[in-house]
């Protein structure tokens, strides 16, 4: 079950539906069954974001996504997953793909539980 922690710099006019829309887009990009992708959305005010050497350039507002999965993509699949997920989040947040940054966590197997049950290796 992928869990996405999504941090959006600045605001996105979403009417409250952005977490659901990101979950649906990520589910399609990750080929996950329905209701198996969880999204937690956070907004970071533009004034609380900076880049070194005077950045970011005017109008740049990145989206940072931390992805936790029991089985992260292997070396053969990672490029396709990154491309699909980046495109899905860019389209959903109306941000350019070059402003979408993904961080894949190590496998969560044997390290995460749902409802008191640890997700174990088979």
Q: Which tokens belong to 45?
A: 């005010």
Q: Mind listing the pLDDT tens digit for each residue in 23-56?
A: 999 999 999 988 899 999 999 998 899 888 877 7
CA separation for the pair 15, 32 (Å, rounded): 25
Low-confidence ranges of the chain (pLDDT < 70): 121-122
pLDDT over 70 percentage in the chain: 98
Largest interatomic CA distance in the chain: 49
> CB under 8 Å to 49, separation ≥6 — which residues?
9, 10, 56, 61, 62
CATH code assigned at 47: 3.30.429.10
pLDDT, position 122? 56
Q: Which domain holds residue 90?
A: 3-118
Structural domain count of the chain: 1
62, 99 contact by CB (below 8 A)? yes
């Amino acid at each position: 079950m992928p869990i996405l922690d999504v941090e959006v710099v600045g605001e996105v006019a979403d009417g409250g539906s952005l977490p659901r829309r990101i979950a649906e887009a990520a589910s399609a990009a990750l080929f996950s069954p329905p209701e198996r992708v969880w999204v937690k959305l956070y907004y970071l005010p533009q004034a609380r974001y900076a880049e070194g050497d005077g950045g970011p350039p005017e109008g740049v507002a990145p989206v940072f996504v931390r992805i936790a999965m029991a089985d992260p993509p292997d070396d053969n699949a990672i490029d396709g997953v990154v491309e699909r997920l980046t495109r899905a989040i860019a389209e959903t947040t109306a941000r350019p793909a070059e402003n979408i940054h993904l961080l894949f966590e190590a496998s969560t197997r044997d390290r995460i539980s749902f409802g008191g049950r640890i997700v174990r290796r088979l």
